[in-house]
Amino acid sequence: MTQTAVTRTVLADALRADCEACAAALPPGAVRTAVAAVAERLAEPVLRVAVGGRLNAGKSTLVNALLGQRLAPTHRDECTMVSAAFVFGYANQVLVHLRDGRTQTVAGRPGGGVPDRLPHPREDIDHLTVLAVNRRLDSAYVFVDTPGRDALSGLDDYAMRSVADADALILVMPRPGEGEKQALEEYVAAVAGTHLSASNVIGVLSRIDELGEGDESPAQVRAQAVRVADRAMRHLGPMVAEIVPVAGLVAQTARGADFTERHMLALRQIAAADPRPPALLYAPDFFLDQAPASVPRPVREELLALLGLFGLRVALAEVDAGTTDTEALLAALAAASGVDRLLDAAAARFLARADPLRTNSALSRLEAVLATAAPAPALSELAARVREWRRRPELRTAELAAVARAAQQGVLPLDDDATAGLHLLLSADSAADRLGLAAGAPPQEVAAEAHRRALLWRAMEGDVPRRSRPHVVLVREMYEQLHRQSAQT
Ligand SMILES: Nc1nc2c(ncn2[C@@H]2O[C@H](COP(=O)(O)OP(=O)(O)O)[C@@H](O)[C@H]2O)c(=O)[nH]1
Ligand SMILES: [Mg+2]
């Protein structure tokens, strides 16, 4: 679970050179600034990951867990309604980017993060950049906390702008129950026409501690969460790479600095109580009332706020099993929360593929600039280069996202083998991975599998509805491209 830096930047560097050449040939103005901004971001070896989802899904809590510090506001106030990117800095400051293009610097909250009040009304603010001296931040990711406002899925127009600007998305999913299916449908609708699909979206089933009746063991809760995640995964198919269940509150505590030796001591006193009240962890009030007298009520309340009943169950089991060290306990809590698995998934699916993901989102931003700019020779040249870039199989994410959506909606009917193949094509990077072969598979094997898949999809061309045919052709062409590439090596 190490967060290595973004190291591979082959595609990003080459695209950056194209942008710089174009910017140098353009007259000063908004278009040149926009192209130069794409180049500048390509020069920063970080991956921008947006965290999206509906109000109260647990996005900000999860962002704090990922950051290992409580920088994102998780209480209800106006600041949770603005997108915020968290960036390593040597000062505790917040850059307020206004809609009129100005940027104002304000002091961060004491200890770091978004202050309670901002010097501008929310409507005037485009987004925030939160600088903090953070031990985990100077690594590979910039996490962007987004506000879900009106939409059930949380991806309304405002949130979508920061999502579309990111290289990848962590979609924090609503708890199951009423509105679950509707919210998933809304997510699929909201990302129509974007590059978002299994190639750059990881789902998180959040607040898993709230599943069930409340008296289940942590293992039972996790098992139930896996079932719910599987169900959502079957529903979303190629629109998300995978869905990881996470108990965000426990994760935030496990990776943050709020749980101290004092809390550890209290836990040990609770564990040592003999007899332990049998109903101690059945309900919050039972815990508050029945914890041993040696643990003052305010500390009981803190423990409950930091861990919830789920976290308390995990923690007490750890202490019962002999854990006495705070760091060891927090490591166990992090593992039980699911956040370690999420970080592993992000490392494998995002960080390991940072080069194509960053290049892809840069191409999208360039395409947006090119779509509105007045004609200029330097821009035509850039546009031609962008079209060339987009023919590379690892950069066809927008087209593939459309295929994924068609498959998810049943417009493109696929059998299980083709579905699994499409998922891999979207969510993997190397030719072997995209074909479901072992890493380091010999070129002949890669070529043969790519050929087999190309033939399968060619055979489907006549069978699918007419409007889905272009999708089938695209996938077939991609397999042919993989075949040609591996046959050449
Ligand atoms: N029990 C529980 N509460 C959570 C969890 N994650 C967040 N919350 C609480 O839910 C509320 C909303 O969380 P927040 O992260 O601000 O949600 P957001 O609106 O999606 O950013 C806060 O009071 C959090 O403390 C969780 O995993 N378990
Ligand atoms: Mg929030």
Q: What is the DSSP string of 221-275?
A: HHHHHHHHHHHHHHHHGGGSS-EEE--HHHHHHHHSS---HHHHHHHHHHHH-SS
Residue with CA at minimum distance from ligand 1 atom 14:
58
C-beta pairs of 97-106 under 8 Å, 24+ apart in sequence: 97/125, 97/126, 97/127, 97/128, 97/129, 98/124, 98/125, 98/126, 99/123, 99/124, 99/125, 99/126, 100/124
Q: Is 70 in the pocket of ligand 1 (CB under 6 A)?
A: no
The CA 203 to ligand 1 mean position distance, Å, reads: 16
Q: Tens digits of per-residue pLDDT, 115-129?
A: 888 889 888 998 999
pLDDT at 190: 82
3-state secondary structure of 47: strand
Q: Is 128 in the pocket of ligand 1 (CB under 6 A)?
A: no
Count Cβ neighbours within 10 Å for each residue of 357-385 and write b for 16 or more, e otherwise: bbbbbbbbbbeebbeebeeeebbeebbeb
DSSP H or E run through 96: strand 93-98
Asked if 241 and 198 touch (Cβ cutoff 8 Å), the reply is yes
Q: What is the number of the ligand 1 atom nearest to the C-alpha of 73?
A: 16
The CA 57 to ligand 1 mean position distance, Å, reads: 6
pTM score of the predicted model: 0.93
The CA 56 to ligand 1 mean position distance, Å, reads: 6
3-state secondary structure of 339: helix
Q: Is 399 in the pocket of ligand 1 (CB under 6 A)?
A: no
Of 116-125, 134-143, 240-249, 438-447, the least confident: 134-143
Tell me what the pLDDT averaged over the chain comes to: 90
Neighbouring residues of 426: CB distance < 8 A, sequence distance ≥ 6: 197, 198, 199, 238, 241, 397, 400, 401, 404
The CA 296 to ligand 1 mean position distance, Å, reads: 26
Structure tokens at 96: 């307020």
Asked if 108 and 42 touch (Cβ cutoff 8 Å), the reply is no
| Residue carrying structure tokens 């079957």 | 234
The CA 245 to ligand 1 mean position distance, Å, reads: 14
Q: Pick the ligand that lies closest to the CA of residue 249.
A: 1
Of 108-112, 173-177, 282-286, the least confident: 173-177
Asked if 131 and 89 touch (Cβ cutoff 8 Å), the reply is yes
| Residue carrying structure tokens 């049998």 | 278
Cis ω before 275 (30° cut-off from 0): yes
Q: Is 421 in the pocket of ligand 1 (CB under 6 A)?
A: no
The CA 55 to ligand 2 mean position distance, Å, reads: 7
- The band of 1, judged by pLDDT with boundaries at 50, 70 and 90, is very low
pLDDT at 315: 98
- The band of 138, judged by pLDDT with boundaries at 50, 70 and 90, is low
The CA 69 to ligand 1 mean position distance, Å, reads: 15
Residue with CA at minimum distance from ligand 1 atom 22:
74
Q: What is the number of the ligand 1 atom nearest to the C-alpha of 206?
A: 27
Percentage of residues of the chain with pLDDT beyond 90: 68
**Structural domains of the chain, with CATH:** 40-250+340-353 (3.40.50.300), 257-337 (no CATH), 397-489 (no CATH)
Question: What 8-state DSSP symbol labels residue 117?
Answer: -
pLDDT at 78: 54
pLDDT at 417: 92
The CA 106 to ligand 1 mean position distance, Å, reads: 26
Of 2-16, 35-49, 298-312, the least confident: 2-16
Q: Is 304 in the pocket of ligand 1 (CB under 6 A)?
A: no
Q: Is 81 in the pocket of ligand 1 (CB under 6 A)?
A: no
The CA 111 to ligand 2 mean position distance, Å, reads: 19
Residue with CA at minimum distance from ligand 1 atom 7:
58
Neighbouring residues of 367: CB distance < 8 A, sequence distance ≥ 6: 386
Q: Is 308 in the pocket of ligand 1 (CB under 6 A)?
A: yes
The more confidently predicted of residues 139 and 70 is 70
Cα-based angle 437, 441, 446 (whole degrees, multiple of 5)? 70
Q: What is the number of the ligand 1 atom nearest to the C-alpha of 251?
A: 27
Comparing C-alpha atoms, which of 320, 319, 325, 283 is closest to residue 304?
A: 283
- The strands making up 168-173's β-sheet, listed across from edge to edge, are 103-107, 93-98, 125-132, 84-88, 141-145, 47-53, 168-173, 201-205, 243-245
Comparing C-alpha atoms, which of 473, 420, 58, 451 is closest to residue 241?
A: 420
Q: Tell whether the model's pLDDT for residue 482 goes beyond 50.
A: yes
Mutate to test the pocket of ligand 1, among 51, 56, 63, 162 (most ligand atoms within 8 A of CB): 56
Give the mean pLDDT of 231-244: 90
Q: Please, which residues have CB less than 5 A from ligand 2, an ion?
A: 59-60, 80
The CA 187 to ligand 2 mean position distance, Å, reads: 18
Q: Tens digits of per-residue pLDDT, 463-480?
A: 899 999 999 999 999 999
Mutate to test the pocket of ligand 1, among 249, 306, 313, 337 (most ligand atoms within 8 A of CB): 249
pLDDT at 216: 86
